[in-house]
Homo-oligomer: A and B are copies of this chain.
C-alpha cells in the first residue's frame, strides 16, 4: 500500500486554499445578507451553513453551498415557507444570481450565484431529533455531529472515500445511483477511522445487513435494509436506507480489487475504450436480440423520473416474459431532459403461434360451461384440468412492442401515467443493430458499453 501516493491524489481532489477562501467568503456573505434582511423585515430567522461546505468535506470544484434558515419551533408552517422562500429569492436577487424553486419534503429555493449552486432551505431550529418537524431539520444536526466528531485529518479521508466512490460509480444516494450518501461516507470514516479502514472492513468483514451504530443505540433491528447505519442524531433512522444491495456489493468488490492491486487510477475517471463499432460487435457476439425503446422523459424532478423509468423497464420485462419471451437483461437511461431509453435484451424473440392455455378443473360442471362453450371440441384434459391451445397474442418481440405500447393496451403495463402519456405521444422501438447505425452520442454509447461491461468501473 506504500505505493499509493495519497498526498498527490489529495492535491488533485482537495479544494485549494483559494477555492476554500472563496467558498467561505461567499457563504458568509450570503448568511450576512439573509440575517440582515430577516432582521429588517422583523422575521425571527437565523441562517446557518450546513452540508459538506460547513463540514469541509467537499471535493475540489464541487462545492454546493447549503444554507438553512432556522425559524423557532413556534413559527407557523405556512409563514416559515413563505418567509423562507422570500428571504432566499431576495438574497439571490441581491447577489445577481438566478433562482429556481424546488420541492423536497418542503419547498426550497436554489440559486446559481457566482458559479455556485446555493440551496436556501427554511427549517425549524431543533436541539435534538425528538423535535423533528420535517426531514430537512435533521440536516443541521448532521452537520453539528460531523463537525464535532470528525477529526481535522479525517476530512481528507472522507474526501478520498467520496472520490473513490465517485470513480467506481457507487457515490450518491439519489435514485439515479442508489449508492452511498456523503453523510454515510462521513459516518463510515468515523466508524473505521480512515479511508483504508473503510475499504478493509468492506472487503473483509461486511455482510448482508451490515450494521454501523456509532452511538450504540441498538436499534438496527428496526431495519431490513442491506446496510443499516443508525443515524447518530436519530436512532429511528437508517442513514443507508437509500443504499441498494447492488451498489453496496459493487463497493465491496471495488474495495477488494483496490486492496489486491492498489492503483491511483481508482481516484480518476476510468479511461474506457469503446465506439459504436465495438459495441455493435459485442451485441452481435452475444447471439441475443436487443431492442431500445426511446421516448421523451416526463417533465418531473430527476429523483422522480428515475424510479418511474426503472418501473417501466421492469414492467416491460415482466409482461414480455409473461408472453413467453425470455429476457436476458435490461437497463435504462435518461439525460433527464430530452431522451429516455429502455434497453431489453432477449434470449428468445420468436415463438410458435399457438400456446397452451390452462382452463378450469373438470370436477365442477358450472365452472366449465363457459370454457367448453368457447373451445368446444378443442380442449383436452391434463391431470384434472382442461387445457386448450390458443393463438399467441404476440409471436415476435416486434409485434409485442407494437401491441402493448398503444392506448388500449398500455394499461396492462404497470408504470406511472406520466411515462405512459409520453410513450403514447411519441416513441420508437429499434433493433440494437439499427440503433447503432445512427448513434454517436457519447453518453448513450457509454450507457451501452457499461451495460455490456458491468464490471468496468469496479476495477482498474
Contact = CB atoms under 8 A, between A and B. Distances in A.
Interface of A: 203-204, 206-208, 226, 245-246, 248-250, 252-253, 256, 285-288, 324, 326, 328, 347-348, 351-356, 361-363, 365, 377-384, 389, 395, 453-455, 458-459
A257 to B, nearest CB: 10
Given A208-B363, A365-B256, A377-B459, A328 B347 contact: no
A250 B387 CA distance: 12
Contact of A253 (B324, B381, B453): B381
B328 A352 contact: yes
A140 B246 CA distance: 70
Nearest to A454: B380
A166 to B, nearest CB: 18
B249 A384 contact: yes
A448 B381 CA distance: 17
Contact of A204 (B208, B248, B365, B379): B365
Contacts of A226: 384
16 contacts: A207-B363, A208-B363, A246-B382, A248-B384, A249-B381, A249-B383, A252-B363, A253-B362, A253-B381, A324-B326, A326-B348, A378-B455, A380-B453, A380-B454, A380-B455, A381-B455
A383 B454 CA distance: 12
A340 B300 CA distance: 65
Given A287-B352, A356-B328, A458-B381, A249 B362 contact: yes
A332 to B, nearest CB: 16
A354 B384 contact: no
A246 B383 contact: yes
Given A208-B384, A363-B207, A365-B256, A379 B455 contact: yes
Given A206-B363, A363-B206, A287 B381 contact: no
Nearest to A388: B455
Contacts of A382: 246, 454
A79 to B, nearest CB: 47
Contact of A353 (B248, B256, B287, B363): B287
A256 to B, nearest CB: 7
A392 to B, nearest CB: 9
